[in-house]
Structure 1
Amino acid sequence: MKSAESEQYELVIVSNRLPVDHVSGEGDDAVWRTSPGGLVAALEPVMRERDGVWIGWPGMPDVHFEPFEADGIDLIPVPLSAEEVEDYYEGFSNDTLWPLYHDVISPPSYHREWWEAYQRVNRRFADAAIEVAAPNAIVWVHDYQLQLVPKMLRDARPDLIIGFFNHIPFPPYGIYSQLPWRRQIVDGLLGADVVGFQRVADAGNFARAVRRLHGFETRGNIINVPLEDGQLEQTVRHRATGRRGHPIRTVLARPFPISIDAQEYQKLAADPQIRARAREIREELGNPRVLMLGVDRLDYTKGIRHRMKAFGELLEDGAFTSEEVALVQVASPSRERVDAYAQLRDEVEIMVSRINGDFSQLGHPGIHYLHQGYPREEMVALYLAADVMLVTALRDGMNLVAKEYVASRTDQDGVLILSEFAGASDELRQALLVNPHDIDGLKSAIVHAIRMPQRERTRRMRALRKRVLSHDVQRWSATFLDALTREDHNDPANHLDIPKRTVAPLGYGD
């Protein structure tokens, strides 16, 4: 770590969590382990290249850590009290914003004390970045927990180059308008030079919210933000003159679909031990003719109950037996202190028990339900073992599991059933695209996947792999940073590169 006298960084990453998990120890004796995830893989090389630092919460309440280094990356922990974790994180972030931004699948809760904690914690993150950012540094803020930070940075340090990326959906205005603090959130995001989203629709929803709340002019991906008199004397990037001659600052709001470290998944899929483990998994499950797989956080947005309902009805219809087709559902624990998540767990486990009680055969349960997380190596083995991958999210910013499955299938086999409400569906057009609310349509897709000829499976998987391998997480971060550092938001390089072709929901005719 740099000395206190020289803590100035050219690149500052700000996210709710640090990219490490605490293993043991305190103070200088603390032991940390790098968290799994594509974001770390994407940003680690550029952080080393650009002299970067990562600011985030270390994951434990009421614990203070001094800045430290882990795996060659400088880290600055932001402390949170147990009350702030409850109000800012579990409350406003995950019981207000999360359900609101996911189409109110679960009703959001609005509490003023949560909002006050959200403001207070966002200020703490912003102050930490302001303190260590070098003149004209790049500050890249991540996700819905920190939407007020860009404006706080802009107000204090107009010299900074500020980016924000929203990893979850941004809702239509009819839903977003329910938020009592809708203006403050939009103002917070408009402090950035570039606001990134997962999908074209998300960027469009944000632009419409800006127009409805402020009446600012928008042109395609560009939002014209009028400059106030006090801002005219400051150094402001992307300064221009608006339609009526008033000075403005332009904000680029466009999609940057996130991805995975595809090469890492390919490498793991080629490992002989992992391939042997995939064969072992099928044997442990009784060598079913078809193995189906679902991998999700246990979250109400993931459509777990919908896929189980479809699977149970197919067993009831006699489309197949539990001996012929098995479903493995990995549901890693998530936010279990939030009431909606505890209720969801009860509902899912009741469904599993009912379906297995009604349709299992001796030694062949229909659903193998695993309420735990697994290391990446075991997940790749599951991906290799599975004939069909079920991604039935009711609303999802992207869903990287779909891309992980595709990257792992180096054998060019396997079928991906993918919700059209997941951001990944914009890119992975050769999947079987479904509306998970349409149980009959979902059942038809499952039957089609089971019966799909080898030639069609190979053709579809080859096209899916081409997309995932050519648009990996390193390309995502490079594209975002390139757009962020360009002086002209109208630069043609800021084009959107996702497939434009439209297909029928199930894609059967591809």
Structure 2
Amino acid sequence: MSKEAAVRVKEDELWTDSKLKTLVRAKLADGALFVVSNREPYMHVIDDVSGLAKCVRPASGVVTAIDPILRACSGTWVAQASGNADKKFVNSKNKLGVPPGDNRYILKRVWLTKEEEDGYYYGFSNEGLWPLCHMTHTRPIFRDSDWQTYKKVNQKFADAVLEELPASRPFIFIQDYHFTLLAKMIKEKRPDVIIALFWHIPWPNPEVFSICPYQHEILDGMLSCDLVGFHVQFHCNNFLDTANRLLECRVDTEKFSIVRSGMETHVRSFPISVDVSMAMSMVKAARPQKQRIIEEYDLKGKIIALGVERIDYTKGIIERVLAIDRFLEKNPEYKNKFVFIQLAAPSRTHIKRYHDLIAEIDELIEKKNWKYSNGAWKPIIYLKKQFSPEEIAPFYALADVCIVSSLHDGMNLVAKEFIASREDLGGSLILSSFTGASKELTDAIQINPYAIEEFADSIKLAVEMPQAEKRRRMENMRRVVSENNVYKWAASIITDLTALG
């Protein structure tokens, strides 16, 4: 077989949007799949300039993965309404066809009051469960009022789903820690449905999870699912241990399942990923912006390192800035030659811990820039705003080094997006060993972000790595990301979910 033919065969084996749609049509009847998430796949907002309503697709790896599934089977997506013009586009049952102008599936919007959003989303989900599941030594806060609101909102979503379910046996795919009680609430009315929950964040060990005052109700709710998925096997193991330690149940370590009250829940790892072809297309389209960024920030001839994330205490931004400071202290020859660009999207600013973190990062970056700046050069360019995938793409293309220094992360798609964007095989990836992605991307320069000396030395290693070695590592990582792409993730879950029906 010629080399070209071998490459062609390999490409044919990769999961694609169209291959996923073929699988979905074979496995699912029209209208048989229901997806539930906090974030909606399409939102309507008022344009600041024109004053007219427009439909936007939020930047989300989950949306990228699940949208083609629902398009293929004409399913229904139930999500919280978040756009300021959302009400104008729904019918009397809070539903509309999406994508706009194509109407391949139904989006059902659920409206929450400000009090409900405060208690369910900002309170219990993100001041309670989020820090509980991320080992970053941020103390979780559990208020009974938040828990009551969380239960109320889960019931509101359950009612919204139950209104739509057909008589024939449907499948429900729930997303994340916002809906731990949902499966039980649905099955109380419709015990025939098949339900999967994908947990996008880490799952802690039993000792940590037992901190939660509502541990039994949460586990009981999750074990009403037929399938529970995590990114990595380690988190599956933690979940099995937690159920075994805290509940009366039978754990089958060979089948990776939990039996409780006659109900069997299968536990599986499904590492989420990205759409490689979409990432490459965005980079190609962003070439004009790449040159503009070089000129705007005076980057010509500079070594460019990049960080991209929401401002969150789990992402290790403080540790990253300290490591860059130490790198420049130990390697003064890189002054005026090295620039680190941090793209940072403020998030959850209603929560004090996040509000304080933004101030802490602002102060630290200002201090380090003052320490090193001389004339026009400063080591850190800090761009604090929301960035679309199209706006991030030219930065991925420019970067000599991408730094992912999460203190704890279920997966981390920035690492995979960077690799997917580098068809030129350029650039190095520095990756925290505390991310799910580190289990797959073994050719990254892996770090402990708490070990600042080691972290600083890793920046030097990435900067000085020979081109041939960079290309070899990037080629290996691109192969991993291409073969285990977002469509394979979705296909694996759909295959396992429908096998239970």
TM-score range, shorter chain: 0.7 to 0.9
1:62 to partner: Cα distance: 12
Report the aligned-residue RMSD: 1.9
Quick check: 1:44 aligned with 2:67?
A: yes
Residue from 275, 292, 295 that aligns with 2:287: 275
Correspondence for 1:214 = 247
Contact 2:283 2:394 in 1 (8 A): yes
Q: Does 1:103 align with 2:135?
A: yes
- Residue 11 of structure 2 is aligned to residue 19 of structure 1: no
Q: Does 1:68 find its partner at 2:68?
A: no
Count of aligned pairs between the two proteins:
456
State the match for 2:174 in structure 1.
141
Q: Residue 250 of structure 1 aligns with which residue?
A: 264
Q: Is the 8 A contact 1:268 1:377 kept in 2?
A: yes
Q: How far is 1:454 from its partner?
A: 0.3
1:449 pairs with 2:462: yes
Residue from 472, 475, 499 that aligns with 2:485: 472
Q: 1:426 to 1:113 in 2, by over 3 A?
A: same
Counterparts of 1:9 and 1:131, CA distance in 2: 14
Higher relative contact order (CA 8 A, sep 6+): 2
Q: Is the 8 A contact 1:164 1:196 kept in 2?
A: yes
8 Å contact kept, 2:250–2:260: no
Q: Shift in Å at residue 267 of structure 1?
A: 1.6
Partner of 2:205: 172
TM-score by length of 1: 0.86
Q: Normalising by structure 2, what TM-score?
A: 0.87
1:284 aligns with 2:282: no
1:301 is the counterpart of 2:317: no
2:229 maps to what in 1? 196
Q: In the alignment, what sits opposite 2:3?
A: none
Q: How many Å apart are 1:48 and its aligned residue?
A: 2.1
Q: Confirm whether residue 317 of structure 1 aligns to residue 330 of structure 2.
A: yes
* Equivalent residues of 1:63, 1:79 under 8 A apart: no
1:55–1:78 CA contact under 8 A, matched in 2: yes
For the 8 Å contact 1:261–1:473, the answer to whether it is kept is yes
Q: For the residues of structure 1 that align with 2:332 and 2:234, how far apart are their CA atoms? A: 37
What amino acid sits opposite 2:437 in the alignment? A
Q: Where does structure 2 lack aligned partners over 5 or more consecutive residues? A: 1-29
**Is 2:371 the counterpart of 1:339?**
no
1:421 aligns with 2:419: no
What is the CA–CA distance in structure 2 between the aligned matches of 1:375 and 1:223, rounded to whole Å?
Answer: 39
The alpha-carbon deviation at position 326 of structure 1 amounts to 0.2
Specify the code of the residue in structure 2 equivalent to 1:480. Answer: I
Provide, for residues 148-201 of structure 1, a one-character-per-residue CA deviation record: whole Å limited to 9, x for no partner: 111112222111110100111111111111000001111111111110001111
What is aligned with 2:156?
124
2:257 is matched with 223
| Structure 2 match to 1:409 | 422
Q: Kindly indicate whether residue 238 of structure 2 is the aligned counterpart of residue 205 of structure 1.
A: yes
Distance in 2 (CA, whole Å) between partners of 1:177 and 1:256 is: 25
CA drift of 1:61 comes to 9.2
What percentage of aligned pairs have identical amino acids? 35
CA distance in 2, matches of 1:317, 1:302: 24
Alignment partners' CA distance in 2, 1:82 and 1:450: 48
Q: CA deviation at 1:207?
A: 0.6
Give me the whole-angstrom Cα distance separating, in 1, the residues matched to 2:361 and 2:468: 36
- C-alpha contact 1:417 1:446 (8 A) present in aligned 2: yes
d(CA) in 1 for partners of 2:54, 2:307: 33
CA distance in 1, matches of 2:46, 2:309: 28
Q: 1:186 aligns with which of 219, 233, 243?
A: 219
Alignment of 1:331-410 (within 5 A): 331-410=344-423
Residues 61 and 82 of structure 1 are in contact (CA less than 8 Å); yes or no, is this contact kept in structure 2? no
State the AA in 1 paired with 2:274.
I
Separation (CA, whole Å) in 1 of partners of 2:333 and 2:341: 16
* Cα displacement (A) at 1:47: 0.9
Inter-partner Cα distance in structure 2 for 1:63 and 1:324: 48
